[in-house]
Amino acid sequence: MAKRKDLSVEFCGLKCENPFFLSSSPVGSNYEMCKKALESGWGGIYYKTVGYWIPQECSPRFDATRKEGTAFVGFKNMEMISDKPTEKNLEMIAQLKKDFPDKVIAVSIMGENEEEWTKLSKVVTEAGADILECNFSCPQMTSHAMGSDVGTNTELVEKYSAAVKKATHLPVLAKMTPNITTMEIAARAAMKGGATGISAINTLKSITEVDLDNFTCLPIVNGKSSISGYSGKAVKPVALRFIAQMAKDPELRGVPISGIGGIETWEDALEFLLVGASNLQVTTAIMQYGYRIVEDLISGVSYWMEEKGINNLSEIVGAALPNIVPAEDIERDFKVYPKHDDDKCIGCGRCYISCYDGGHQAIDWDTTNRRPVLNEEKCVGCGLCWVVCPVEKCVVPDKVKFHSFGTPRDINVIAKKL
Amino acid sequence: MKEECRLKEKEYLRESRKPYSPLNAIEEASRCLLCHDAPCSKACPAGTNPEKFIRSIRFKNVKGAVETIREANILGATCARVCPYEKLCQEACSRTGIDRPIDIGALQRYATDFERSSGMRVLEAPPANLEKAAIIGAGPAGLAAAAGLAMKGYKVTVFEAEEKAGGWLTYGIVPSRLPQDVVDYEVDYVKNLGVEFKFNTIVGRDITIDRLKAQGFAAVCVAVGLQGAAALDIPGAKLSGVTTAVEFLKAAKPSGGNVEVPANVVVIGGGDVAMDCAATAKQLGAKAVTIVYRRTIEEMPASKTELEVVQKLGVSILPSFKPVEIIGENGRTKVFKAVGLEWKDKNTSVEVESIIQLKAELVIQAIGQTAEDVSYTGLEASGKGLVVADSEKGTTNIEGVFAFGDIVNGGKTVVEAVARGKAAAQAVDEYLNCRRIGCSACKEAVAGKEGGR
């Protein structure tokens, strides 16, 4: 039996056996799916958005951006909220809580007006949910009284948060849209309305690709298509940025954040925790690989904790935030030179090409030996060479030089390199 | 039994290696490091430029890849299947420093398969307004020269002794490695450039070079290849059931495998031709096929891919054995006898007390090809009967007559033959350009050469 760390974390006052939850999406659409996921090891679920408004979905409704190989770089979907009758959803939620009392059953809701938000809050609370998540952020609703059009309107966010809060004793999360310049303003409005915490991010409005034969974007629905939400690995950098900014916002200090956006591996998961999330949600990776991915999330995080001597995940929540500073606070006198290892080098010349065409022409090419030769005079220490080098530990950041001022910090990792 | 035969035939005729799907191809191409000074491209004799076509596939421009291959190599689809990649471009591949080389042959095949299935056409010959050029021999060297000259605007006629073009490609290489339709496709490509073919025409018998010149052919290219077969001089070598690779393969391939193959076959030799014979025999129904090779397995000239193919087919390989006798019964081959050799160094061996006797109703000698008598050309010949010609330009002792390919270099790879054909087309063009403008320097050079003879 593999050794497992205790991955439990407290989120919004609730004990979660681990931080890994399904996000509100196709992966948590009904009782059977949620049951299978919870039995696979997920700490909890965000049940697919329940509302009174029942959508009419289109076909097909997905597209994926790929690079080489089969993995999705990013994923586009056109689905809206649950297409099941509200009553049916409430029954399934009640059954889930009954059958899985130790798991956390969060439920996403979405109303069309203040009255509906309050009513949904009340009935979902009565059904036995543990957390309510207000979906202010679905970018592909056919009703403009709903979805991300609401999430970008701070008045509505505050008003609807209050409408939900007044009908429940449960924690209320506001799920934010990234289709906005800064997320803190909308998040503050949600908190002002009475929300307990924030979920971020929902999907980015996108066109994944344009069909070159039919002159429309994908997926093609009877000859047409529309802009809709983008998720998966490609949005991870955007998600981390929004979460870090909210976590650093003085007005939002200490607000629980559920992190969403491209989590596939245990490393992705830890990154979200390090920038301030204490709960994590996943959809795209599950859509591609299935619920079983939670096994490696749990195992991977356990081994990392073992290695780092960390006993409780709450120790690392937000731990990277002090090291993320504004551009004006970055020291400009610091310079790292690359070291080229001639024995590891396989002579591909990629560092040479990139330094010439995208850098400062600081690498000369020894055509006889097929090896790069660094010209320190010209090198600005940009690091492009070690980013493009395809060989492990062949070009590495090495000698550090300070121009005239500044002092070395006590940090041993200068640049991350595979 | 009949069903079994059909199955065997299918195996013989069907290309054994699976093609890449578009996704597989891009995946493989993305392993390519896109080297600055791509050693793969430097290693291709025909200048097929893998660096450029792999990069095109990598960035989803398959048509661009086809263009690169086709502009450099008129037999690109053939070479994709028969080239000894591991000794050329793949041996040079930088990726080997990380794990394994890029599968360049399979990517080239992917691009040329795409070309064929999409009907894409890269090369369009200009109107044939220039002089007439004759090519003797429709093998790889002749085809490459014909295409090169047609692309420059010459009126090209290829004279071929057999009834089909392709030479060794059509009359030798096993179809499971090189299907005939691939060869036919590339021959058609050459035809579509305006090249005319005269089949069943033996130069020297049906028509002479002087006659060709009299008919207005301003240049004559001799690319006849090696048509003779080397044979062993051991007791029993004349028995019925002892044959040569050339004879055996030439009967098997054009008939679609419709030849009788007995249960026990011995193939003598260690090159790709020996592998082709072994694969053909096995795929056409032989129970036991054994390759007997005089030197060690490390020295086998066959490509590693072909060696793997025959091993997968269940062919036994016996290195370091020298044939000593073929024992017959009623004039027919029955037992093949060989003696073990111990190699002291690369060139010295001693016989050891190890005799092997194999049941064999068919013994195929794949120990090399020889030049046919080319005295009808009037060209200077070396001791081995090869034509003496400039190794780059193909110029010979007779003005206006060029020779290149196997008949000059003694037998190399298909890609080498393509390279020589391309170079010869260039040389013929230069020669005719000079003649047209009356370039005095060239005339003097020619006169000097003839004077010195």
Q: Are residues B178 and B259 in the same domain?
A: no
Cα B269 to Cα B278, B314, B320: the distances in Å are: 10, 17, 11
Cα(B229)–Cα(B168) distance, rounded to whole angstroms? 13
Residue B26 lies in a domain: yes
Q: Are residues B102 and B203 in the same domain?
A: no
Residue B81 lies in a domain: yes
Cα(B306)–Cα(B84) distance, rounded to whole angstroms? 9
What dihedral do alpha carbons A332, A336, A337, A340 form, nearest 10°?
A: -150
Residue B326 has pLDDT above 80, yes or no: yes
- Please indicate if any CB of chain B lies within 8 Å of the CB of A300: no
Q: Are residues B237 and B351 in the same domain?
A: yes
Residue B63 lies in a domain: yes
Residue A168 has pLDDT above 90, yes or no: yes
Record: contact B94-A347, CB cut-off 8 A: yes
CATH of the domain at B342: 3.50.50.60
pLDDT at B60: 85
Site from A65, A346, A385 to mutate, B interface, most B CB atoms within 10 angstroms: A346
Q: Are residues B161 and B35 in the same domain?
A: no
pLDDT at B373: 87
pLDDT at A416: 41
Tally of domains within chain B = 3
Q: Of B369, B390, B419, which residue constitutes the final position of a domain? A: B369
Record: contact B35-A365, CB cut-off 8 A: no
Cα(A181)–Cα(B293) distance, rounded to whole angstroms? 75
Residue B353 has pLDDT above 80, yes or no: yes
Residue B1 lies in a domain: no
Record: contact A365-B37, CB cut-off 8 A: yes
* A348: closest chain B residue by CA: B35
Residue B124 lies in a domain: no
Site from A209, A346, A348 to mutate, B interface, most B CB atoms within 10 angstroms: A348
Site from A68, A343, A350, A389 to mutate, B interface, most B CB atoms within 10 angstroms: A68
- Please indicate if any CB of chain A lies within 8 Å of the CB of B27: yes
B392 contact partners, CB below 8 Å, separation of at least 6: B423, B427
Q: Are residues B432 and B311 in the same domain?
A: no
Residue A193 has pLDDT above 60, yes or no: yes
Residue B125 lies in a domain: no
CB-based contacts of A320-325 (< 8 A; 24+ apart in sequence): A320/A244, A320/A271, A320/A274, A320/A275, A321/A244, A321/A247, A321/A248, A321/A275, A321/A276, A324/A244, A324/A248, A324/A275
Q: Which pairing describes strands A257-260 and A279-282: parallel, antiparallel, or unpaired?
A: parallel
What average pLDDT does the segment B1-23 reach?
77
At residue A414 the predicted structure's pLDDT band, cuts being 50, 70 and 90, is very low
What average pLDDT does the segment A226-237 reach?
96
Shortest distance between the Cα of A205 and any Cα of chain B, in A, equals 26
Degrees (nearest 5) of the Cα angle B200, B206, B207? 115
Q: Are residues B259 and B350 in the same domain?
A: yes
* A389: closest chain B residue by CA: B33
Query: Residue B224 corresponds to which tokens in the numbers above?
Result: 């006849």
* A343: closest chain B residue by CA: B97
Residue A36 has pLDDT above 90, yes or no: yes
What would the pLDDT profile of B206-226 be if each residue is shown by its tens digit?
989 999 999 999 999 999 999
At residue B11 the predicted structure's pLDDT band, cuts being 50, 70 and 90, is confident
pLDDT at B441: 66
Tell me which residue has tokens 């390919």: B405
Shortest distance between the Cα of A349 and any Cα of chain B, in A, equals 5
Q: Are residues B218 and B151 in the same domain?
A: yes
CB-nearest to B37 from A67, A370, A390 is: A370
Record: contact B37-A367, CB cut-off 8 A: yes
Residue B6 lies in a domain: no
Q: Are residues B246 and B345 in the same domain?
A: yes
pLDDT at B453: 37
Q: Of B369, B400, B427, which residue constitutes the final position of a domain? A: B369
What would the pLDDT profile of A314-361 be if each residue is shown by its tens digit?
999 999 999 999 999 888 888 899 999 999 999 999 999 999 999 999
- Please indicate if any CB of chain A lies within 8 Å of the CB of B22: no
Q: Answer for the pair B110, B125: CB distance below 8 angstroms, yes or no.
A: no
What would the pLDDT profile of B166-206 be if each residue is shown by its tens digit?
999 999 999 999 999 999 999 999 999 999 999 999 988 89
Nearest Cα to Cα of residue A93 among A10, A42, A35, A150: A35
Please, is A323 exposed, middle or buried when counting C-beta atoms within 10 Å of its C-beta (0-12, 13-18, 19+)?
A: exposed
Give chain A's domains with CATH numbers: 9-323 (3.20.20.70), 331-402 (3.30.70.20)
* A366: closest chain B residue by CA: B37
- Please indicate if any CB of chain B lies within 8 Å of the CB of A352: yes
B153 sits in the region (left: phi over 0; alpha: psi -120 to 50; else beta) called left
CATH of the domain at B56: 1.10.1060.10
User: How many Cβ pairs closer than 8 A exist between chain A and B?
Assistant: 43
Mean pLDDT for all residues in chain B: 92
Domain that includes residue B199, residue range? 132-227+371-452
What average pLDDT does the segment B294-306 reach?
91
Residue B383 lies in a domain: yes
Record: contact B36-A68, CB cut-off 8 A: no
- The residue with greater pLDDT, A98 or B3, is A98
Percent of chain B with pLDDT over 70: 95
pLDDT at A143: 87
A343 contact partners, CB below 8 Å, separation of at least 6: none
- Please indicate if any CB of chain B lies within 8 Å of the CB of A353: yes
Site from B21, B30, B35, B40 to mutate, A interface, most A CB atoms within 10 angstroms: B35
Residue A405 has pLDDT above 70, yes or no: no
Contacts with A391 from chain B: Cβ below 8 Å: 97-98
Residue B280 has pLDDT above 90, yes or no: yes
What would the pLDDT profile of A250-282 be if each residue is shown by its tens digit?
999 999 999 999 999 999 999 999 999 999 999
- Please indicate if any CB of chain A lies within 8 Å of the CB of B97: yes
CB-based contacts of B35-38 (< 8 A; 24+ apart in sequence): B35/A347, B35/A348, B35/A349, B35/A350, B35/B94, B36/A348, B36/A349, B36/A350, B36/A352, B36/A353, B36/A365, B37/A349, B37/A365, B37/A367, B37/A370
Q: Are residues B297 and B351 in the same domain?
A: yes
Residue B449 has pLDDT above 90, yes or no: no
- Please indicate if any CB of chain A lies within 8 Å of the CB of B60: no
- Please indicate if any CB of chain B lies within 8 Å of the CB of A391: yes
What average pLDDT does the segment A195-223 reach?
96
- The residue with greater pLDDT, B383 or B308, is B308
What average pLDDT does the segment B34-43 reach?
92
At residue A1 the predicted structure's pLDDT band, cuts being 50, 70 and 90, is very low
Record: contact A68-B58, CB cut-off 8 A: yes
**Phi, psi (5° rounding) for residue B89?**
-60, -40
Nearest Cα to Cα of residue B297 among B263, B274, B324, B328: B274
**Cβ neighbour number for residue B248 with a 10 Å cutoff:** 25
Record: contact A348-B34, CB cut-off 8 A: yes
Record: contact A69-B27, CB cut-off 8 A: yes
Residue B130 has pLDDT above 60, yes or no: yes
Contacts with A68 from chain B: Cβ below 8 Å: 26-27, 29-30, 58
What would the pLDDT profile of A302-311 be if each residue is shown by its tens digit?
989 999 999 9
Contacts with A390 from chain B: Cβ below 8 Å: 33, 98
Q: Are residues B136 and B209 in the same domain?
A: yes
Contacts with A370 from chain B: Cβ below 8 Å: 37, 39
Q: Are residues B102 and B64 in the same domain?
A: yes
Cα(B77)–Cα(B183) distance, rounded to whole angstroms? 8
Residues of A with a catalytic annotation lie at 138
pLDDT at B9: 63
Record: contact B36-A391, CB cut-off 8 A: no
pLDDT at A70: 65
Query: Residue B236 corresponds to which tokens in the numbers above?
Result: 């029993």
- Please indicate if any CB of chain A lies within 8 Å of the CB of B98: yes
Q: Of B346, B369, B392, which residue constitutes the final position of a domain? A: B369
- Please indicate if any CB of chain B lies within 8 Å of the CB of A358: no
What average pLDDT does the segment A135-164 reach?
94
Q: Are residues B320 and B424 in the same domain?
A: no
**Cβ neighbour number for residue A418 with a 10 Å cutoff:** 7
Query: Residue A322 corresponds to which tokens in the numbers above?
Result: 């002090």
